Chain A
Amino acid sequence: MSCQRLRNWIEERYDVEGMKRLARHKLVPVHQYEIWYYTGGIAMFLFILQFITGMVLSFYYIPYFEHANKSIIEIVTKLNMGWFFRSLHHWGAQLAITALFIHVFSTLLLKSYRKPRELLWISGFMLLGISIFFGLSGYFLLWDERAFAAVRVATGGAGNLPVIGGFIKAFLRGGLDVTGDTLTRFYAFHVSVLPLITLFLVGIHVLLVQYHGMSVPMSLEKKPLKQIPFFPNLFYKDLIIWLLVLGLTVTLATLLPPEIGKKADPLAPAPENIKPEWYFLFLFQTLKLFPGEILGMNGETIAIILISCGILFFFLIPFFDRRSSRGEKSVLFTWIGVFYTLYFIVMTIIGFLS
């Protein structure tokens, strides 16, 4: 009875029936590539999981270099289920970035970036970049010697960019070198700046998806396709996949909890055989390909410039691929997409194994 009264109370004030009708009217095409539609939903689900576990961890984490490492050890060893929440946050991040990479590369290969979805590509690409920075800033909060060395290398690499490199490096580090100030700065990025930007971009991205509808691959665009309503059909399928992803995240968090290294010492040399996080391995391997000096210029600077150009081209690909936007086949950009995907996978594997 009270439930009916509550329903009436809401229905008197809001057009619930209209909203339901709107949800029922959103249709999704059915075809052999529809599996790729789920990757965006998986990434969003993992983002929500990250927000929840991150909030729990922030109750106990101390963002000061003297106590940061110790506070994480205390979260893991003294708090009830602390180890689990920290591990869940770690694996949630790894899987979210994996889902985003798969989402971006599937969009690239299916050419879903083509007109009129350029802004969807731009917002999605920015979300990937932000997620990677989320990963780096979160890793640094551990304040152990590996994280310290990784941030020193990453911010140093950004500093090699001509003209703006020095500014970026100083802005990220909060000084000349990686110090306690960098930790405070990365904490601010991790818990306030990046989440706000993420919420804004996810909002825009989801709104644009609603506005344009689901993209159909070019090869199927002219064929008559069966359509199913998003709600409830696709929503229930999404739920099934989210449950499986949750199960996978919890299993990884339980069976493979991440280690905590020795507290960082800014004066100590970097530990041997350090490697960056897996999503930086392709950059790390690319940097290794370049010699120290090319034609009297710093090899690393040239490498950073070339990598930046490659990423910029990737970012602006919808504007270069004119044929796809006209609805014509563009074999060149298919091969460019295949090249980018294979390069990322192969370099990551080589970086992992070497």
Chain B
Amino acid sequence: MKRIIFAFLSVIACALDLFAQEAAPVEVFPTAPYDRYIIFQSLALFWVAIVGLIVIIRMKLKEIERVQKMGIDREEKDIPLLD
């Protein structure tokens, strides 16, 4: 009798899986509002840093081009050297 009850309960337990709800999708992004706020704030700061770096590199590039235009970056031949 015990075996029959056990088998019956096992069948019911397995059948319950058929009525199981779809598993919730995995959260691939932090859900806490504070975490989200920090992430978006960091993203904005990251872009500010990128723009800042681009401005510095452009300034540097313009200076290099100015020096090249003047020709003072080229080595002169037969330049007297101080020993």
B39 adjacent to A259 (CB under 8 Å): no
B65 adjacent to A233 (CB under 8 Å): yes
Interface positions of B from 37 to 74, Cβ below 8 Å from A: 39-40, 43, 46-47, 50, 53-54, 57-58, 60-61, 64-65, 68
Total interface residues in chain A, CB < 8 Å: 24
Asked if A243 is at the interface (CB within 8 A of a chain B CB), the reply is yes
The main secondary structure of chain B at its interface with chain A is helix
For the complex, what is the distance from the CA of A86 to the CA of B28, rounded to whole Å? 10
B50 adjacent to A247 (CB under 8 Å): yes
For the complex, what is the distance from the CA of A242 to the CA of B68, rounded to whole Å? 24
Q: Count A/B pairs, Cβ under 8 Å.
A: 54
Asked if B12 is at the interface (CB within 8 A of a chain A CB), the reply is no
B43 adjacent to A83 (CB under 8 Å): no
For the complex, what is the distance from the CA of A47 to the CA of B10, rounded to whole Å? 53
For the complex, what is the distance from the CA of A87 to the CA of B68, rounded to whole Å? 43
Asked if B26 is at the interface (CB within 8 A of a chain A CB), the reply is yes
For the complex, what is the distance from the CA of A237 to the CA of B27, rounded to whole Å? 39
Asked if B25 is at the interface (CB within 8 A of a chain A CB), the reply is yes
Q: Which residues of B contact A87 (CB under 8 A)?
A: 28
Q: Which residues of B contact A77 (CB under 8 A)?
A: 26-27
A76 adjacent to B64 (CB under 8 Å): no
For the complex, what is the distance from the CA of A236 to the CA of B58, rounded to whole Å? 8
A233 adjacent to B27 (CB under 8 Å): no
For the complex, what is the distance from the CA of A244 to the CA of B53, rounded to whole Å? 10
Over the window 223-253 of chain A, the binary record of Cβ atoms lying under 8 Å from chain B Cβ atoms (1 yes, 0 no) is 0000000001100110110011011001100
Asked if A254 is at the interface (CB within 8 A of a chain B CB), the reply is yes
B54 adjacent to A260 (CB under 8 Å): no
A243 (CB) vs chain B CBs: closest residue: B50
24 A-B pairs within 8 Å (CB atoms) are namely: A76-B27, A76-B28, A232-B61, A233-B61, A233-B65, A233-B68, A236-B61, A236-B64, A237-B61, A240-B54, A240-B57, A243-B57, A246-B50, A247-B46, A250-B43, A250-B46, A251-B47, A254-B40, A254-B43, A257-B28, A257-B29, A258-B28, A259-B25, A260-B28
User: Chain B residues in contact with chain A, CB under 8 A?
Assistant: 23, 25-30, 39-40, 43, 46-47, 50, 53-54, 57-58, 60-61, 64-65, 68
User: Chain A residues in contact with chain B, CB under 8 A?
Assistant: 73, 76-77, 83, 86-87, 232-233, 236-237, 239-240, 243-244, 246-247, 250-251, 254, 257-260, 262
18 further A-B pairs in the complex, CB-CB below 8 A; given A83-B29, A232-B61, A233-B61: A73-B26, A77-B26, A83-B28, A83-B30, A87-B28, A233-B65, A233-B68, A236-B61, A243-B53, A243-B54, A243-B57, A247-B46, A247-B47, A251-B43, A251-B47, A257-B29, A260-B26, A260-B28
